[in-house]
């Protein structure tokens, strides 16, 4: 129970404080390591794929090493200091409040005296597509799609790997919440690399392939769990949860990314909207499949509704992963009697975790490069 309270506290801190602009966010440090690594390995390695691989290893290894070292130093002084530092780290890695703040700014802009002009300015801060010619409908759709997709990148996937990493606590000297801090920053390292180098263009097609595919693998389970949680969220909020389930099952693969459409499909169905479709990127039209059916015209109020769906969905997701963690420990402990040695228990734990991870990789790894566009 102590671990559950600690993790929920991290989420509450994120909802209250978000990411203040006055302090250097750790993700910026990950971005700096990625940028320096890219320049270095491009210079010394001719093969772009190999250079990208070494960049991933360097960024991931550096991030994990720094977090572990800081937690071990704190733990050497006091276990409570380690736990406090871990809670701060996890809070920093979540971005629920920032996502809601930015989407609400788009909503407010659409209600201003110059809705199109101000809406384009605000939505350009959170999407990668060209916004100079977007209509009110295009602005709303872009915002809704981004909120739905970034629910996974900014909240549910980080929480998933925080909880998953806590299972390794018996194998280390770190507390469960300390292991969670390592897990969440390992995920943020991959996600940051994906956002920086995981593009389908001439510069990064080969160099960023490992980062993009690794991000796809890590998001595989959280994205699908998030889609299901959003369907339940629609039921809780008395939206059209039946249509959310229908569209989710039908359109969850309608995206160049293997994970992005899961949350978007659930949202589109619950709100009766049609998302996706052709978009402008760098002056070129990119054809994308549609998600959902246009049962109603999109309006700014739908931004508020998707925000509510995402918040409820994240809460449901958090409860779900904590329940799964409890069940995993209960099943593992029950399968061993009290005379089982710690060594045997750890061996069993490693086997189960490794087997689960291999199954996910087998199902999620697909040939060819990944996405990247919103």
pLDDT in tens, 99-150: 999 999 999 999 999 999 999 999 999 988 888 889 999 999 999 999 999 9
pLDDT in tens, 315-353: 999 999 999 998 887 776 666 554 455 556 566 666 666
Contact 208, 197 (CB under 8 A): yes
pLDDT band at 369 (very low <50, low <70, confident <90, very high): very low
Q: What values do phi and psi take at 290, rounded to 5?
A: -80, 155
Which of 241, 218, 87, 66 minimizes the C-alpha distance to 153? 218
Q: Which residues pair with 275 in a beta bridge?
A: 291
User: To the nearest whole number, what is the mean pLDDT of the chain?
Assistant: 89
Q: What values do phi and psi take at 17, rounded to 5?
A: -105, -25
Mean pLDDT of the 194-210 span:
89
The whole-number pLDDT of residue 344 equals 65
Sole residue written with tokens 């915002």? 143
The whole-number pLDDT of residue 358 equals 67
User: With 90 as the cut, is the pLDDT of residue 178 above it?
Assistant: yes
From 180-184, 185-189, 340-344, the region with the lowest mean pLDDT: 340-344
The whole-number pLDDT of residue 363 equals 61
Q: How far apart are CA 374 and CA 136, in angstroms?
A: 17
pTM: 0.89
Mean pLDDT of the 214-223 span:
94
Q: How far apart are CA 226 and CA 222, in angstroms?
A: 6
H, E, C per residue of the chain: CHHHHHHHHHHHHHHHHCCCCCCCCHHHHHHHHHHHHHHHHHHHCCCHHHHHHHHHHHHHHHHHHHHHHHHHHHHHHCHHHHHHHHHHHHHHHCCHHHHHHHHHHHHHHHCCCCHHHHHHHHHCCCCCCCCCCCCHHHHHHHHHHHHHHHHHHHHHHHHHHHHHHHCCHHHCCCCHHHHHHHHHHHHHHHHHHHHHHCCCCCCCCCCCHHHHHHHHHHHHHHHHHHHHHHHHHHHHCCCCHHHHHHHHHHHCCCCCCCCHHHHHHHHHHHHCCCEECCEEECCEEECCCEECCCCCCCCCHHHHHHHHHHHHHHHHHHHHHHHHHHHHHHHHHHCCCCCCCHHHHHHHHHHHHHHHHHHHHHHHCCCCCCCCCC
pLDDT band at 94 (very low <50, low <70, confident <90, very high): very high
pLDDT in tens, 238-274: 999 999 999 999 999 988 888 989 999 999 999 999 9
User: With 70 as the cut, is the pLDDT of residue 373 above it?
Assistant: no
pLDDT in tens, 7-55: 999 999 999 998 877 777 899 999 999 999 999 999 999 999 999 999 9
């Amino acid at each position: 129970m102590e671990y559950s309270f600690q993790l929920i506290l991290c989420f509450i801190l994120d909802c209250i404080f978000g990411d203040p602009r006055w302090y250097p966010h750790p993700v910026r440090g990950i971005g700096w390591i990625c940028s320096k690594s890219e320049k270095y390995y491009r210079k010394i390695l001719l093969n772009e794929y190999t250079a990208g691989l070494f960049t991933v290893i360097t960024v991931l290894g550096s991030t994990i090493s720094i977090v572990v070292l800081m937690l071990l130093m704190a733990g050497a002084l006091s276990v409570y200091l380690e736990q406090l530092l871990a809670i701060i780290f996890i809070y920093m890695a979540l971005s629920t409040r920032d996502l809601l703040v930015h989407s609400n700014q788009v909503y407010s802009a659409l209600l201003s005296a110059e809705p199109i002009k101000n809406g384009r300015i605000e939505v350009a801060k959170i999407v990668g597509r060209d916004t100079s010619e977007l209509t009110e409908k295009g602005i709303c759709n872009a915002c809704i799609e981004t909120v739905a997709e970034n629910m996974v990148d900014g909240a549910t996937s980080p929480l998933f790997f925080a909880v998953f990493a806590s299972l390794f606590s018996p194998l280390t000297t770190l507390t469960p919440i300390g292991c969670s801090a390592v897990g969440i920053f390992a995920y943020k390292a991959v996600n940051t690399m994906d956002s920086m180098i995981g593009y389908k263009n001439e510069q990064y097609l080969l160099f960023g392939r490992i980062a993009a595919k690794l991000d796809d693998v890590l998001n595989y389970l959280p994205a699908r769990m998030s889609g299901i949680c959003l369907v339940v969220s629609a039921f809780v909020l008395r939206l059209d949860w039946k249509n959310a389930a229908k569209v989710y099952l039908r359109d969850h693969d309608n995206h160049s990314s293997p994970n992005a459409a899961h949350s978007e499909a659930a949202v589109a169905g619950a709100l009766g909207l049609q998302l996706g479709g052709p978009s402008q990127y760098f002056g070129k039209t990119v054809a994308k499949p549609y998600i959902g059916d246009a049962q109603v015209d999109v309006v700014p109020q739908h931004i508020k509704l998707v925000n509510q769906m995402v918040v409820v969905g994240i809460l449901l997701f958090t409860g779900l992963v904590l329940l799964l963690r409890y069940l995993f420990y209960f099943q593992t402990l029950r399968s061993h009697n009290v005379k089982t040695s710690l060594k045997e228990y750890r061996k069993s734990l490693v086997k189960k975790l490794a087997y689960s991870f291999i199954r996910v990789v087998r199902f999620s790894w697909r040939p060819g490069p990944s996405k990247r566009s919103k």
